[in-house]
Structure 1
C-alpha cells in the first residue's frame, strides 16, 4: 500500500530531525570551553546532555495541550458559524524488534523476515570488523572498541523493547504521539535531574569525563555552557531536534509500524555517516559501506519493500504480500468516538 502525503511528511521529519539531533550531539562533544577549574577542555557531560534531550521531549507535552486548547476554540467557533559505526551497529535493533514483535504483538515471522534478520546480523559482523581494523590502524584501545560495540548492541535490545511496547500502547489505547513523547520526556527529565545530584559525588575513575573524577558534574557543565555561545547553540539544536524526532518517530510507529520506524532510522544513519565523512569527523573505512549495504538489504527484505515486490512483479516468486500490521488507523481523519483526547485519531 502506497504511503500517503502525511506519512511521507512524517518520514521526512523523522529522518531530517533525527540526523540533526545526532550531528548536533556529536558537534557538542567536539566543542572546547573553559570549565569551572579555568581550563579549556572538551565538553564531556553525557548525563546532562541526556537531561537536555528529555527537556526537548517535554516540550511536546506543552505543544499537545496548546494545540488541544486551540482545537477546542476552533470547534466552538465552528459550531457558532456552523536524526558511522556506532550508528550502523544500531541496525541490530531491527533483529530484536522483529523477535519481540512475535511475543508482544502476536506477529508471525515469514521466510523473508528470517532472511532479513540473517543479513542484518552479517552486516553487523562486517561493521564490527571495520572497527577492529580501524583500531589497529589508529592505535586505539581494542578493549575500548569491543566494549563500546557490545554496549551499543545491548542498548538496541532496550530500544527494540521500547519500540514494540510503544507500538502496542499507542495503537491499543490510541495515545496521541505528542502526549506520549511529552510524558516520556517529563518522566526522564525528572528522574535524571534527581540522579544528577548523587552523580556529582560518585567517583567514576576512568569513566569520568570531568576533572573532579565524578560520574557527572552538572555545575561544571553549566559553567562551560555559560562560557561558550557555540556550545549553548549546539545544545539548543539538540533539544529542539529531539522533540520533532521523537514526535515523528512515534507518529510513524502509529501510522505505519515499529519496523518501518527502524528502516527510516537506518536512512538517518546513512545521512549521518556521509555528513561525518564530508566534515572529516571520521575517516573512511571500506568495510563500513559494505556492511551498511548488507544491513539495508536485510532491512528491505525484512520489511518486504523494493526487493520482494520487484521479484513478484517479475514473476520470480509467487507468494502474496501480507500486511505487517492490522490497518487500525486507516481512517486517520475520521471521528473516533472512543478517543479520550479530542475525538479524532491523529498524530497530536
Structure 2
C-alpha cells in the first residue's frame, strides 16, 4: 500500500523537473513546510488500515463495507471541532442518508451471504475494531486537510510523503515481526506475525501474485492522489462521502463478474446513497432556487383579463 503511495512522490519530482524546463512554469510553488508534518497522517493510515484488515478476518465482508461508512460521522464531527467548519442542515442530512444507504447495502449483502465461519464473539470484536479504525481514519483525513490547505502542498507530494514514511516504518517493523510468534493467527508456515521471506518466495513462484501486487500498487497510488485532490479542492467530509460510494462500485462489479447474486434491497441502498451524496454536495439547491423563482400561477379570471383586457398606454395617468 505505502509503496503505491510512495510512487506518487517519484511522479511529483518527475513532474517538477519537466515543469522547470518550461518558459512559464505551471506548478505553483508551495509554502515551505516540514515534511514531518505528514508523519502523523501516515501513522494514522498505517494503524487504521492494519486494524481494519485484522477485523476483516473476524467478520464478514458485508459488515466490513457497511461499518466503514461510519467514518463520515467522525470526519464531519472532527472537521467541525478542529477545522472550524460549519455544516448546514442539508449536509448533516446528507451524511445521515448516506450512512442509511450503506446500512441497507450491507444488510442486503449480509442476507445474501450468511457467514458461518465466525462465532458471535469474533463478529462483535471485528465490528468494534472496524468502528474504532474509522475514528483513526477520520483523524487522518482532518490532518491532511489542515496541512494541505495551510501549506498548499501538491497532492502528489502529500501522498508520496506519507507513503515514504509508511514504507520506511513498515519495512523496519518487518524485522521484529519475523521473530514474534503468533500461533495460528500468523497464517504462515513459521506461525509468526509476518514472514517476509515466505512472501517473496510466493511472489517468485506465482507470477499472478506479482501481477496482482502491481495492480494494487497502481490503484492505491491513483486512489490516494484523487482523495488528496478532493480534500484540497473541497473538504475532508466530501472525500469521505465519495469514498463511501465505493460500496456501490464493489457491489456493481461483483454482480457483473458473477461473484454475487442480485438482491432487490441493493437497489434501494443504491438510491439512498445517491440521495445522500446529492444532499451533501448541494445538488438540491439549484432545484429549490428554480422553484422559488417561478412566479405563482394566477386565477383563470385574472389571466383572461390580462390577455383580453383593454391596453393602456405606458405613460397613462394612474
How high is the TM-score relative to the length of structure 1? 0.66
1:313 aligns with one of 269, 278, 290:
290
Question: Is 2:127 aligned against 1:179?
Answer: no
Map residues 201-212 of structure 1 onto 2, 5 A cutoff.
201-212=179-190
- Cross-structure match for 1:196: 174
The equivalent position to 1:73 in structure 2, one of 7, 10, 21, is 21
User: Partner of 1:298 in structure 2?
Assistant: 276
The alpha carbon displacement at 1:216 in A equals 1.4
Say which is worse superposed, 154-163 or 185-194, in terms of deviation.
Answer: 154-163
Which residue number corresponds to residue 38 of structure 1?
none
Look up the match of 1:160.
Answer: 138
Where do residues 77-96 of structure 1 align in structure 2 (5 Å cutoff)? 85=62, 86-96=64-74
In structure 2, relative to structure 1, the CA distance for the partners of 1:266 and 1:124 (3 Å cut) is: closer
C-alpha distance in 1 between matches for 2:125 and 2:221: 30
The offset of 1:232, in angstroms, is 0.4
Cα deviation 1:210-235 (Å, max 9, x = unaligned): 23222211111111100111110110
Q: CA RMSD in A?
A: 2.8
Rounded Cα–Cα distance in structure 2 between residues aligned with 1:298 and 1:157: 21
1:253 to 2:231 alignment: yes
Q: Is the 8 A contact 1:93 1:160 kept in 2?
A: yes
Deviation at 1:300? 2.7
Question: Is the contact between residue 94 and residue 299 of structure 1 (CA under 8 Å) also seen in structure 2?
Answer: no
The one of 195, 198, 201 aligned to 1:220 = 198
Quote the residue 1:279 is aligned against.
257
CA drift at 1:112: 1.7
Pair 237,125 (structure 1): closer, same or farther in 2 beyond 3 Å: closer
Say whether the 8 Å CA contact 2:69–2:102 is kept in structure 1. yes
Structure 2 residue 116 is the aligned partner of structure 1 residue 139? yes
In the comparison of the two structures, how many residue pairs are matched?
257
CA distance in 2, matches of 1:286, 1:218: 44
Matching of residue 57 in structure 1 with residue 35 in structure 2? no
CA distance 1:308–1:146, change in 2 (3 Å): farther
Q: Deviations over 1:223-274 (max 9, x none)?
A: 1100111110110111122112211211121122223322332343322221
- Give the secondary-structure state (helix, strand or coil) at the position aligned to 1:315: helix
Match of 1:97, SS state, is: helix
Residue 150 of structure 1 is matched in structure 2 by 128
Range with greater deviation from structure 2 (156-165 or 202-211)? 202-211
Gaps of at least 5 residues in structure 1 are 1-52, 78-83, 317-348
Change in Cα spacing, 1:125 to 1:67, as seen in structure 2 (3 Å) is closer
- With over 3 angstroms needed to count, the CA separation of the structure-2 counterparts of 1:259 and 1:236, relative to structure 1, is same
> Aligned in 2, Cα 1:150/1:120: closer, same or farther, shift over 3 Å?
farther
**Aligned twin of 1:32:** none
- 8 Å Cα contact 1:201/1:214 also seen in 2: yes
